[in-house]
Structure 1
Amino acid sequence: MATAGDFTMTRAQRIRLTLACLLSYFIAAGLISQIGAISGPMAAHFGKALTDVSERFSSLSSGIMIGTLLSLVWFEWSGLKRTIISCYVIGAAVLLAILFGDSWSWLPVLLAVAGAVAGLGLAAAAVTLALSYSARIRAVLLLCTDLCFALAGIVCAPAAAQMISHGLPWSASYGALAALCALVVVLAVLSPYPPSAREAGERVAHERWPLGAWLCAIALLFYLLGQVTMLLWLPQHLQQQLHVDYVTSTAGISRYWTGMAIGQLLLVALLQRLDFRRLLPLIACASVAASFPLWLSRDASALMLATTVLGIVNGGVLKLSLTYATTLVRHPQRVVALLLSCGSLGQALSPYLSSQLVRHADTALALQSVSVCYALMAACIVVAMRRRALPVPHPSPAVAGDLP
């Protein structure tokens, strides 16, 4: 038997529970990472402009933001197991409706619901991991959740491209994600879950947050605003400006996520020797420089390499920003939820704002905006790092959820 506090599970139950949590991260990342790969075929299928399609996907990002915001209060009155099962039953049904319904008018509603249940399910999975494991093991699982995000990015976009290139509909990959939602439901039904905050009778004391915590939240807004813009328009830029074929252009997204996976592994090694407070401003500023080749490069191979380098460099921005923000407060649960909500806001704004740039100019301007977003992110982080951290230990930032 394995025990975390008063919560006890067998090894098999713990494996099922952990797998369900990690799959929640994979599903959320899978929804986002393939947007650039399916936008072109989706536009051709419905006879719409690419900018119209990208605006449709703002519903997905908005849904994720709503789900993340909902997690701020949801677990004060709802149990974790019920939340997980409900979210992924609804998620599977909605993804199948997108696959078989084939409706342009209903698409924003379906994408918004899919995003909301993914965002809430992600937070529920993170809370579950935090309540089920000791701090040492939890740190390892935080890396695993990041790697699941990266793995989804590596797998989902090329898989969607291959399905479409073999004659399947643009939404075929959503069917695969629906199957994963069903698997999460099965695993959740077979697993015991730790008590939620409501069930445990816990309450987080009110606390005034310092400026540094707010700046970290703003930094994550700009970080994810830039990241989603890059994921959305990089394939189109490769096709339109560098004349690369469809399947090859979607490989650029996979290269980015591969770089992120490598960067996260390197980060773990560096953290054994260096304080994360030294690494965070360095990788934030390096991300700005690494984003320039996205719009300066005129060679497809060089641009592919640049996306990998960018992934390596900024793979730790999200996690280290969350970690630093928790050192500025005595009760980090709510502040982490705030940071994640700001990040979700960046995701929600990206499709609409970037489509306006492309509508009035081209894909190069959208990629230039990535550099602007990263520059603003780095500025916020550098200023935030000037705030003194409290010399007290805090629980892991996983307690309120996580993002790619």
Structure 2
Amino acid sequence: MRKFITPLIMVMIIPCLAGCWNRVEVNDIAIVTAIGLDRMENGDIRLSLQIGIPANLGPIGAGGGNKGGKGTFVISETGETIADAYRKLQEKIARRIFFSHSRVLIIGEKLARNGVSQIIDFFPRYKEPRMNSFIMFTKGQASELLRSKSKLENVSSEETRELNKLNVGLKVSIKGFWEMMLAEGINPTAPAVNLKYLEVKNKSESKTEHSPSEKTQSIVGAAVFKKDKLVGWMNEAETRGILWLRNTLEAGVITVNIPKKRGGGKISAKIISTKTDINPKFQGGQLTIEVNTRSEMIVVESTSKMNLTKTKMIEILQSKLEEDIRNKIQLALDKAQKQFHSDIFGFGRAVYQTYPKVWNRKYKKRWDEEFPKLNVTIKPKVEVKRIGLTIETK
């Protein structure tokens, strides 16, 4: 009897393994490479999608794709919600919209200032968009950035993604931004992106107008939030302070001016490693924050006559580098405390981790009032590891 049961079971199982009943062919989908969100004048949301053109998305070069054609096109639609706009978009494109390859989410300023919690809610709920996609904000319209032409890649969003990976500024995913919105003791921040001219011109050259094709996407600072609403922007220098305070600085160059009596000129040092610790303390019953940063650097350029082979001169250089770090951190701190009243550095989270009972009893419900008057001490420490090849300047 058992000899007949086994073949019977196999006959019943084989049809179930014949294929994927819900498979979707590549030729039937429109692959989204980037998403843009803007707020219209009537309050509706504009959903813009950068869609890849399969025939033009091969490698650049001989035998590859993109034979003189664009790699993508942009399509948009409006709606009361993202889902509503998405439904309308699907009605005017012949393939099923496929979000899983989206690399970047860009949100315009007007929409961000009205709050983004309900907007971003779409992404963890809908199954396709990647939560590890980079999120960025722009002072203009997100759709304009999606329409910008790529220079090195077939797809401009790929250039944006690679720019984020280079750690030239803040690097925040949709998931990371979502977690900051939900967490206690920290407010969200994300990269600010805009279009900038590829070339910088002198005043005498500026009479010649740039063409739109001469612009490229560039990270220009940071967007600062209080809860889920955009409250302002920080420039590149201030953003460096955010990176120091959040212990996310991975690379960079610091250039300092050397006093004339020490040799004059400028010296540039490259950061090879850095670590920041945020230590909450109580002094005289008052909460204070001590920020300790430790960095290792190497000299990469010098126009100074300073003799870096002498220990005393190295100590002076280290002191100048520490002063620059302190100033950058103070710039970001002052703006966050005095202008935005937003703890984007996670000081509150550090207080909770160190003094959980005190946080829950005293600070949890009133951190927005406590943060602006918080006393913060900044203590940078720099060690110059190498000075490179030196040439005596007379």
Question: Shorter-normalised TM-score: what interval?
Answer: under 0.3
More helix per residue? 1
More strand per residue? 2
Greater C-alpha radius of gyration:
2
